[in-house]
Amino acid sequence: MKMLVCTDGSESSQKTLERAAVIAGGCQVSDVAVIHVYDNMQDISTLPKDFTSSEQIERFRKMMENHKKERYKVLEDAVKYLESKGIKARPIFKEGHPSHTIVKTCAEENFDMIVIGSRGTGGLSKVFLGSVSNAVTQEAKDCTVMTVK
């Protein structure tokens, strides 16, 4: 069995990693991958029109670069957590729309199971099932999706 574990650094993500470690430790999982999708919606084209000085743009680029590095660290920490539980895992870092990218990666690499948290870092996380987990559940084909609460 091949398992794709989703992480975004949230508390729900930590619970997801814990559950994935239990499953992978108790089953014959041949491949465990941890995915983090960096949502790169903020780019230079979305800046206000008065935000045009080269200094402001450079500051924005550096801020986004630092944010991307922080997001990669979230992924590294998740892989280290699984490895501390005796689970060999590989990182997958992608940029794009989270749910679409997760589903696409799952299909491209023929994962049998996606393990995802019910809520992530989004603002309305206490009101609804997370929009990413909901979309992944609806869009994923030919694989099991486990949503961890």
Model pTM score: 0.85
Reply yes or no on whether the pLDDT at 118 is more than 70: yes
As a whole number, mean pLDDT of residues 1-28 equals: 94
For residue 121, the model assigns a pLDDT of: 52
As a whole number, mean pLDDT of residues 62-68 equals: 88
Average confidence score pLDDT of the chain: 87
As a whole number, mean pLDDT of residues 58-66 equals: 85
3-state secondary structure the chain: CEEEEECCCCHHHHHHHHHHHHHHHHCCCCEEEEEEEECCCCCHHHCCCCCCCHHHHHHHHHHHHHHHHHHHHHHHHHHHHHHHCCCCCEEEEEECCHHHHHHHHHHHCCCCEEEEECCCCCCCCCCCCCHHHHHHHHHCCCCEEEEEC
Reply yes or no on whether the pLDDT at 110 is more than 90: yes
For residue 123, the model assigns a pLDDT of: 46
Reply yes or no on whether the pLDDT at 126 is more than 50: no
For residue 45, the model assigns a pLDDT of: 56
As a whole number, mean pLDDT of residues 99-103 equals: 96
For residue 21, the model assigns a pLDDT of: 96
| 88 vs 63: which has the higher pLDDT | 88
Could you tell me the CATH superfamily of domain 6-148?
HUPs (3.40.50.620)
- Please, which pLDDT band fits residue 56 given cuts at 50, 70 and 90? confident
